[in-house]
C-alpha cells in the first residue's frame, strides 16, 4: 500500500514529520503515565500505584532471569521505559490513521522501519557502552569477540549485525502488518456494498483485539531481548 508522509528537508537531511509527531506524543503519554501513577504514593498501594509497581516487578523479573540484580539493577529504569514506550507506540495507530492532504500524519511510529532500526541501533550501542564501562575495554573486546577461539571473530561481527537487524525488523514487521490489515478491513467497511461492510465489522473487532495482544507481546520481546543482549555484554559468564 502506497502511503505519502510529510517530509521536511534540512539541507540533505530529510525528516518524516509524522514520525517526529508520533514519537513526541508517545513520550508525552509515557511521561504522563509515570507522573500519574507515582503521585501520592502510599505504604498500602491501590489502583494506579499497584499497576506501576506490578510493571516494575515484571521488568525486574525479566532482568533477574538474565543476570544478577547487582549488575542488572542499573538497567531497571531502562527496561521500564522501553516496555512503556514501545507498547504505547504500538497502540497509537490501532484505533485510527489520519491523513491530511493525502499525507499520513497519525499512525504507530513503530510501523516505520527507520524508527525501529534506530531504536535497535541505540540499544545495541548501549550494550557495548556498558560492556566496556563495567568490564574494561581490553577484557570486553577479548571476551566478547575472541572467546572462546580467535577465528570466531568474523562470526561475532555477523552476529552483532544480525542482532541489530532482527531486533528492529521484528518489531516493525509485526506492527506494520497489523496496521495494513486493519486498513484493508476499514476499506471493506467503507465499501459501497453494504453486505461486505457489515461482514467486515466482525474481523475488524477481532483483529483490533489481536493487535493489542501483538503490540503488548512485541513490547515484552523487545525488552527481554534488550536484557539478553545486555547480559551477554556485561556478564563474564556469557
Query: Each residue of 3-41: pLDDT tens digit?
Result: 778 888 888 888 889 999 999 999 999 999 999 988 887
- Residue 13 parent element (H or E): strand 13-16
| CB-based burial label for 183 (10 Å; 0-12, 13-18, 19+) | middle
Which one has a higher pLDDT value, 55 or 200?
Answer: 55
CB 92 within 8 A of CB 111: no
Q: Does the pTM exceed 0.85?
A: yes
What's the pLDDT tens digit per position in 41-71?
Answer: 787 877 888 999 999 999 999 999 999 999 9
Amino acid at each position: 500500500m502506497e502511503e505519502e508522509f510529510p517530509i521536511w528537508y534540512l539541507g540533505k537531511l530529510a525528516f518524516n514529520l509524522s514520525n517526529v509527531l508520533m514519537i513526541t506524543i508517545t513520550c508525552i503519554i509515557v511521561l504522563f503515565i509515570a507522573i500519574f501513577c507515582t503521585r501520592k504514593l502510599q505504604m498500602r498501594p491501590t489502583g494506579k500505584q499497584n499497576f506501576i509497581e506490578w510493571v516494575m516487578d515484571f521488568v525486574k523479573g525479566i532482568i533477574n532471569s538474565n543476570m544478577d540484580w547487582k549488575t542488572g539493577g542499573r538497567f531497571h529504569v531502562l527496561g521500564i521505559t522501553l516496555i512503556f514506550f514501545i507498547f504505547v507506540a504500538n497502540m497509537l495507530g490501532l484505533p485510527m490513521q489520519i491523513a491530511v492532504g493525502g499525507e499520513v500524519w497519525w499512525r504507530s511510529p513503530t510501523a516505520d522501519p527507520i524508527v525501529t532500526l534506530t531504536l535497535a541501533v541505540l540499544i545495541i550501542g548501549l550494550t557495548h557502552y556498558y560492556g566496556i564501562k563495567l568490564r574494561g575495554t581490553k577484557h570486553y573486546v577479548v571476551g566478547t569477540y575472541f572467546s572462546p577461539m580467535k577465528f570466531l571473530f568474523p562470526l561475532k561481527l555477523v552476529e552483532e549485525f544480525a542482532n541489530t537487524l532482527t531486533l528492529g525488523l521484528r518489531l516493525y514487521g509485526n506492527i506494520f502488518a497489523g496496521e495494513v490489515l486493519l486498513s484493508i478491513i476499514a476499506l471493506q467497511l467503507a465499501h459501497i456494498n453494504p453486505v461486505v461492510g457489515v461482514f467486515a465489522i466482525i474481523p475488524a473487532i477481532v483483529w483490533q483485539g489481536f493487535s493489542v495482544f501483538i503490540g503488548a507481546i512485541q513490547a515484552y520481546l523487545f525488552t527481554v531481548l534488550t536484557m539478553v543482549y545486555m547480559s551477554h555484554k556485561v556478564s563474564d559468564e556469557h
